[in-house]
Chain A
């Protein structure tokens, strides 16, 4: 449970059920939830990562794009938290496009607030997002406005992660958009301004945290230009990071991969995280 009781913003107060159309894919999620995966105490490092599953902002592939990555991170001694966020398609929302952002922002605050309890450091809290989850990871990296409306000792905790890992991410909502993600997030008739505002390559600043991007050239769902645009914006703003583009892997770079070359992403990612941990 991410939100303190009664403090979840942007809700009409409808009573909705969780809908899981097929195993591992949630299509309606009335309340934000985090699933903690902790390595054994003896192996546990100071680092924690919140995993943001994808699913075009209309579903959550929490198993393949969440739990699997969490288990892998645990093998590196890194604590993982899978975030099931409210989908912008939920009828309970008052303002659709900020709900996922509110949820990840609140989660980061929650993990930082309770860092000691988990034996981790509040200054080593990163995010991993796949596909539309990558868009949300980029959003929380760049939007400085705190939309959580949380008060008290929550208020002063930063919502910006210490690093971000974007896998096959949706970045652009314009020319190179994954159209379903845009429609789910912004609705059918979003204005040009809104589209530009939510195209994350336009939001990168010198304050953007270090970011690692992974993409397959033959991704037919989210064109690789999405990652390239973001990396170009990072380079322009002197944000440190990596961009790794594999010829194969389609829209399913994951914990198991058909291509031996693409499977190297895990080694690259864990070496990169080692640098972050130092």
Chain B
């Protein structure tokens, strides 16, 4: 029995050293909190439903293979939970194989009882995360001007939000002047529209049951694209039963109208599961497309 415990402990340690946990907010500066003490709740393995504060998990490639680029991965889960493993760690490991540093963001969910204003909680967290990574770029051996975001599903909505909305972090001091806008965005099966083509669960969790039409419009990201929106690549499956493919199309059309450079790849299959492993060989090409796109960005 004792031997078993020792082996188990070693196993845990090895698991842990693959990534490094970072607190996003400087002590005492996390905004929009009632100061409640919450425990992390994981309703099933790989699916967190409640966290106390935003956390980043750093995945760094070997020093020799590390490029200047870093990507913050925003897991999805309909703004109700965080699929941090399938929609987070998996992508991080894949990016590491390309020499790209990855940081998985576990953000405060808008359903948290600790939030004063539910809909800006996730946005504040990703904005603070971008500032933090940019501030500490040299420590990681990366460039503060090659910081992108990758979001899946509702995480894609949050990636689009941080691409288009103003700084609401309330951070002061040397963090204040650091931009919250990523240098590029990768949206995988993203939630974009909260009106006609909405993933209803995401809308209700983000804005509550009785959001006004104005609020819904404001948080439908195709309405927020401007010429300043960073370059963006979108992936979607036509047979996605959860988030209709028109979400990506609406965002891309808004990009076109505003002369934002980018790409969009819509596959016939892949459902709401475009990921690191895909059943369809055709859909599996998204990784090659994404890697080639990232190469172009780092050359600019």
Contact = CB atoms under 8 A, between A and B. Distances in A.
Interface string A225-267: 1001001100100001111111100000000000111001001
A178 B127 CA distance: 42
Rank and list the top 9 A-B pairs by shortest CB-CB distance, nearest first.
A271-B282, A261-B292, A243-B266, A245-B264, A244-B265, A247-B263, A240-B268, A260-B292, A247-B261
A217 B293 contact: no
A210 interface: yes
Contacts of B282: 242, 268, 271-272, 274-275
Contacts of A261: 263, 289, 292-293, 295-296
Contacts of B107: none
A137 interface: no
B266 A225 contact: no
Interface stretch (B61-69, B164-172, B244-252): B244-252
A111 interface: no
Contacts of A242: 238, 265-268, 282
Interface residues of B, number: 26
Which residue of A235, A240, A261, A271 has the most chain B CB atoms within 10 A of its CB atom? A261
11 contacts: A217-B262, A228-B249, A235-B238, A241-B238, A242-B267, A242-B282, A247-B261, A247-B262, A261-B263, A261-B289, A274-B281
A232 B246 contact: yes
Nearest to B294: A261
B268 A241 contact: yes
A143 to B, nearest CB: 24
A243 B248 CA distance: 11
Given A217-B261, A232-B249, A242-B266, 12 more contacts: A217-B262, A225-B253, A225-B256, A243-B265, A243-B266, A247-B293, A247-B296, A259-B296, A260-B295, A261-B295, A264-B289, A264-B292
A170 interface: no
Contacts of A228: 249, 252-253, 256
Interface residues of A, number: 26
Nearest to A224: B256
Which residue of B249, B262, B268, B293 has the most chain A CB atoms within 10 A of its CB atom? B268
A225 to B, nearest CB: 7
B285 A264 contact: yes
A214 B289 CA distance: 14
Interface in B247-300: 249, 252-253, 256, 261-268, 280-282, 285, 288-289, 292-293, 295-296
Which residue of A231, A243, A246, A259 has the most chain B CB atoms within 10 A of its CB atom? A243
A260 B256 CA distance: 22
Nearest to A272: B282
A261 B292 CA distance: 5
Interface string B162-191: 000000000000000000000000000000
Nearest to B263: A247
Contacts of A264: 285, 288-289, 292
Nearest to A240: B268
Nearest to A262: B292
A228 to B, nearest CB: 6
Nearest to B246: A235
Contacts of B262: 217, 247
A260 B231 CA distance: 18
B200 to A, nearest CB: 19
A210 B266 CA distance: 13
A237 to B, nearest CB: 12
A219 to B, nearest CB: 11
B264 A243 contact: yes
Interface in A79-97: none
B285 A267 contact: yes
B295 to A, nearest CB: 7
Contacts of A247: 231, 261-263, 293, 296
Nearest to A261: B292
